[in-house]
Structure 1
Amino acid sequence: MYEFTIIVPVYNEEENLERVETELLAYTKIALRKTAILFVNDGSKDNSQSLIEAICQRNDAFNYINFKENRGLSAAIKAGFDTIETELTGYIDSDLQTAPEDFNLLLKEIGPYDLVTGVRANRKDSFVKNMSSTIANGIRRAFTHDGMDDTGCPLKVIKTEYAKKIPMFKGLHRFLPAMILLQNGKVLQVPVQHFPRVAGTAKFGVWNRLLGPLMDCFAYLWMKKKYINYEIATKG
């Protein structure tokens, strides 16, 4: 029935969820592919789960997974990849600092590519946040050679067959383009809109954007060395 599923990780975002419902519901009416929404509640300690259940009850295209405890963003994305059955999967943060309608910009390009990621143009974040993200992206590019300028952009479209083959570990959400390249896939980046956070609080600080990603780069190098990739030529 659906062709495209948008994964929405949620952790203590009760102040944003009604707006998430409104904007994603509006997007499903203009989407280039018939679209479903999958909330992944990452062990929220506020009222997020009850709001998610109410949203899903009144909207057929909305479903959810509820974690028993907080496991982190990479785990939430991985659970989404494991669950979806549509040809394409997307990802957007529940703070809505990126616009759901920009998924159409990515969907227009996905044909020959296996992952299309947004690049946040004219970012509306603080100087410290922007600078730490710029440094972290530079470090990551030096390790992965993925050519991506903004892998932290929470707006992506991936062919599901590739997404399901990604062996996720904590922090790997920053390396999705690199992991597609390890599968000999093709990636593209497209400029998208960016907005200030209007409700809730950010979940990442300087540690998460600088020192954490640096450590994750070494984990990625280990993964790259050990990664198994093959294509079957014939079967009998």
Structure 2
Amino acid sequence: MSYRLTIVVPVYNEEDNLQRVEKEFLAYFENAAVKSKVLFVNDGSKDGSQALIEDICSRSDNFTYISFAHNAGLSAAIKAGFDYADTALVGYIDADLQTTPDDFNKLLDEMDDCALVTGVRADRKDSFVKNMSSKIANGIRRAFTHDGMDDTGCPLKIIKSDYAKRIPMFRGLHRFLPAMILLQNGKVKQVPVRHFPRIAGEAKFGLWNRLLGPLMDCFAYLWMKKKYINYTVEKTSRG
């Protein structure tokens, strides 16, 4: 049976988490609702992440990778994952595994009539400051985008690949994935998922990244929305 879901795992200095990523995904593959594989996107890590990724990929065909020449940021890593995915569905999860691969099955259950299904971290295990800044940022984004999403920053999503590949990404726009799907007239849905404390590695986003930066990105989104081109082909000479 051919693969149906590619799960993008952006990696930036996550050497302390990667063996756990391998272990949890090997367990998930046994119970996945559809045949799935992992695509690591090494975003210019400066630690031993690349060597670990290559070891993991050498042990199983269910793991593949691409590696950037230099650090380009989370949005670029996600966009590259979308571009390189060769399956009907593409997913996304962070390498810190504060969400679990097992919950991809919850998202898959809702994919039939949706272009994107995203998780909502129902009981977040983060600090008060991180939770509040995220809550405020999500409120600001909803006011700008009217996407109805409570937790666009949740690192657990599945998108139909034909929609994902049409998303015009730029730095910071990973927070607007549901809104960009709505621009394509696709249906989006959110599903409660589990959340866990970070076990290893360091958080890549501070107060600026979670609150002030995203506010500036909202204006970039409004510009994108105004200029966005959307069309539907009714027929072609090929039939």
Q: State the TM-score, normalized to the length of structure 2.
A: 0.98
Query: In structure 2, what is the Cα distance between the partners aligned to 1:130 and 1:109?
Result: 27
Equivalent residue number for residue 145 of structure 1: 146
Q: CA deviation at 1:232?
A: 1.3
**What amino acid is the match of 2:202?**
T
Equivalent residue number for residue 178 of structure 2: 177
Equivalent residue number for residue 57 of structure 1: 58
Runs of 4+ with >6 A deviation: none
Equivalent residue number for residue 155 of structure 1: 156
Equivalent residue number for residue 101 of structure 1: 102
Equivalent residue number for residue 206 of structure 1: 207
Q: CA deviation at 1:25?
A: 1.2
For each residue in 1:19-73, what CA deviation from the matched residue of structure 2 results, as whole angstroms up to 9, or x when unmatched? 0000011111100000010000000000000000000000111000000000000
For each residue in 1:57-116, what CA deviation from the matched residue of structure 2 results, as whole angstroms up to 9, or x when unmatched? 001110000000000000000000000110001000000000110000000100000000
Q: CA deviation at 1:235?
A: 2.7
1:219 corresponds to 2:183:
no
Equivalent residue number for residue 14 of structure 2: 13
Query: In structure 1, what is the Cα distance between the partners aligned to 2:132 and 2:54?
Result: 37
Query: In structure 1, what is the Cα distance between the partners aligned to 2:112 and 2:157?
Result: 14
For each residue in 1:152-207, what CA deviation from the matched residue of structure 2 results, as whole angstroms up to 9, or x when unmatched? 00000100000000000000110000000000000000000000000000000000
Query: In structure 2, what is the Cα distance between the partners aligned to 1:235 and 1:103?
Result: 36
Gaps of 5+ in 1: none
* SS of 2:199 mapped into structure 1: coil
**What amino acid is the match of 2:106?**
L
1:131 corresponds to 2:135:
no
Instruction: Tell me the matched-pair count.
Output: 236
**What amino acid is the match of 1:174?**
R
Gaps of 5+ in 2: none
1:37 corresponds to 2:38:
yes
1:197 corresponds to 2:180:
no
Equivalent residue number for residue 77 of structure 1: 78
Q: State the TM-score, normalized to the length of structure 1.
A: 0.99
Query: In structure 2, what is the Cα distance between the partners aligned to 1:6 and 1:235?
Result: 33
Equivalent residue number for residue 26 of structure 1: 27
| Identical amino acids, percent of aligned pairs | 75
**What amino acid is the match of 1:31?**
A
